[in-house]
Structure 1
Amino acid sequence: MQTVTVGPREIREAVTMREAIDAVRAGFIDLAAGEFEMPTRTALRDGRFLVMSAHHRASASAMIKTLSLNFDRVPAIAGTVVWTETGRVDSLVADAGAVTTLRTGAAVGVATDLLAPANAGRLTLIGAGGQAADQVRAVHTVRPLRELTVVDTGSHRAEVLAEQLAPELSGVQIRTATDTEAAVGDAEIVCCATPATSPLFPEQALPAQVHVNAIGAFRPTMRELPDELLANSTVIIDELEAILEESGEILHALKAGAITQDDLTELGTALTAPQAPRGERTVFKTVGVAMQDWAIARLLADKFLPRT
């Protein structure tokens, strides 16, 4: 019996974004089918420390993630993902930072593939932090990009990210911006990946048809999206219990009467029984659930652990 440790570079080399998206999509379908035991995550020190766990009944496997989060350091996420399975003697420990950014990107890839117009190719990314690159990679995997605008309050981070992504985005026009409202004006897809506590843009700044992914706000005190956008869009969420516990924008919109719980559809349900959209704008709101980490950990286990 041994514990196999997998670092960030090994994770990146072992798992492609396409593999991650496919694994997370299957996980959301199983989540909707009741195949997971998945407690709402434990958040300590107002989300600075998180503990998440999931058990997949069909495979008799389980994952536990513990991490600390600090937006003032690089990397912002530090911790471990631990994988065990009754069919394997060995266990796996993986870097939580790499798993988290990969699985969050993968969830956005699943939602974008489901909700964005088939020909959408103009992405505006708001936020150039640690999660940003995988947001672009995921969208580009399911909707090959023609144009990418990276928006950040400081142009330096946006420029660094643009330079980092350029070799992966051959033929894509990449620019940076600091004016968020102007940058979303002609977007076909918007990804929000910030620690904002108030909406990043007003609803009227968006075009009539657009798909918006919001991943940054993961506590009730945080918000990236305005109530009006949620009220006038088809809203897909990762998991209702987690959203009602942690999503500041959803909680704010519910309290304001802009939406009701009936306006929220879980992604797994939407994948298996697509709903007729209420309008031309679609929103995917995720706070991140343990099933996503389980899905990536399972991929890693299949690649790094022998089966007895």
Structure 2
Amino acid sequence: MPAAGNYSAAEVRAAIGMPAAVDAVREAFADLAAGHFSQPPRLVFGTDDQAVLVMTAHHAPSGAAVVKTAGVVLDRDPAIVATLVWTDDGGQLTAEAGAVTALRTGAVAGVATDLLAAPGATGLALLGAGAQAADQVRAVLAVRDIRDLSVWNRSPRRVGPLLDTLATEFPHVRVRVAENAADAVAAADAVCCATSSPDPLFELSALPERVHVNAIGSFRPSMRELPAELLGTASVVLVDQFAAAGEAGEIRHALDTGLLRRGDVLELGDALSAPPEAKGRTVFKSVGVAAQDWAVARLLAQHSRRR
């Protein structure tokens, strides 16, 4: 049967669980490293505060392609409003891509956490309580037995609804609201940063000696969630793809100041085939690539054929 239909955000959520999304994104990055995707650089129109992004990927072995358009307004909730179109030899489907984006952004953090975080990690810190936040937690819990969660957000009013959602889904996890970002990360085994901050959220000294840090919020040179010293001293600095993440504020600043060299930065697809030795502090910086959208859209196409 051909893939067909128009998936709302709720239908995307009903069709795809986070463990399946993590597996699909992991497979897509392996295919990306193997050269199976044609993935042009994303198009960006607009300003730092309000932009339209267009991302597309074609998967040669399957002949399937995805195109996503996303409107980003940083002071809007949700910040991203997007539409995705999937096309394969059997047909076409569309989906509300805000849910797709949150799923695939969480999923790639799950892939990186599974690769780099300590196997016995039980403590997670979440910085940010926006639209991406819950999926960051879901993804880490899909790959690690997290028991303690610390949450910090600049606007306290946004934390309550997020905690209600997480408490319902993960009643076994102990959750606390941290007074500040440094307090949140102080005892963490893994950290997820999901903010649009222009300045580092914490100092290097706030982190434990062994911790894995995901940063998915910043996507422009003017944004930086992480201190440059963290990237300069981490045992592993991982990105989804350097062509995409190389212009993000964390990576750009560390390169420009000499704390990081291009050869120090690994791409996720390569790291999956040759896992680096993770010790001390490790970092994963992601701005997202279209192959991730393709991976989640493929799950939707498979779901559509089963309906």
Superposed pair shares fold, TM > 0.5: yes
Matches of residues 115-130 of structure 1 in structure 2 within 5 Å?
Answer: 115-130=116-131
CA contact (8 A) 2:3 2:301 kept: no
Task: Describe the SS at the equivalent of 1:217.
Answer: coil
Quote the Cα distance in structure 2 between the aligned partners of 1:145 and 1:52: 33
1:288 matched to 2:291? The reply is no
Q: Which runs of 5+ in 1 are unaligned?
A: none
What corresponds to 1:11 in structure 2? Answer: 12
Structure 2 CA distance for aligned equivalents of residues 231 and 133 of structure 1: 29
Number of aligned positions between the proteins: 303
- In the TM superposition, 1:130-149 aligns within 5 A as 130-149=131-150
CA displacement 1:123-161 (0-9 Å, x = unmatched): 110000000000000001111211011100122211221
> Do the aligned partners of residues 145 and 276 (structure 1) sit closer, same or farther apart at CA in structure 2, a change above 3 Å counting?
closer
- 1:49 equivalent among 49, 52, 70: 52
Q: In structure 2, what is the equivalent of residue 222 of structure 1?
A: 223
Partners of 1:53 and 1:63 within 8 A in 2 = yes
- The one-letter amino acid paired with 1:72 is D
The structure-2 alpha-carbon separation of the partners of 1:184 and 1:122, relative to structure 1 and needing over 3 Å to count, comes to same
Q: Aligned ranges for residues 1-308 of structure 1 at < 5 Å? A: 4-46=5-47, 48-86=51-89, 88=90, 90-233=91-234, 234-244=236-246, 246-277=247-278, 279-305=279-305
1:69·1:77 contact (CA, 8 Å) conserved in 2?
Answer: yes
Residue type matched to 1:235 in 2? V
- Residues 151 and 183, structure 1, Cα contact 8 Å, conserved in 2: yes
SS in 1 for 2:25: helix
Structure 2 residue matching 1:128: 3-state secondary structure? coil
> Percent identity among equivalent residues?
51
For each residue in 1:157-213, what CA deviation from the matched residue of structure 2 results, as whole angstroms up to 9, or x when unmatched?
A: 112211111011122111112311121111111000000111111111101000000
Separation of aligned partners in 2, 1:301 and 1:85: 9
Stretches of structure 2 that go unaligned for 5 or more consecutive residues are: none
Tell me the secondary structure at the aligned position of residue 148 of structure 1.
Answer: strand
Letter in 2 for 1:142: V
Task: Kindly indicate whether the alpha-carbon contact (under 8 Å) linking 2:200 and 2:226 is maintained by their aligned counterparts in 1.
Answer: yes
Please give the alpha-carbon distance, in whole angstroms, between the structure 1 residues aligned to 2:194 and 2:297.
23
Q: SS where residue 67 of structure 1 aligns?
A: strand
Instruction: Write the distance in 1 (CA, Å) between the matches of 2:105 and 2:188.
Output: 21
Counterpart amino acid of residue 296 in structure 1: V
Moved more, 63-72 or 20-29: 63-72
State how far apart, in whole Å, the 2-side matches of 1:140 and 1:114 are.
14
Q: Which whole-Å CA distance do the structure 2 matches of 1:96 and 1:261 have between them?
A: 32
| Off by >4 Å, runs of 4+ in structure 1 | none
Contact 2:3 2:305 survives alignment (8 Å) = no
How large is the Cα RMSD of the aligned pairs?
1.5
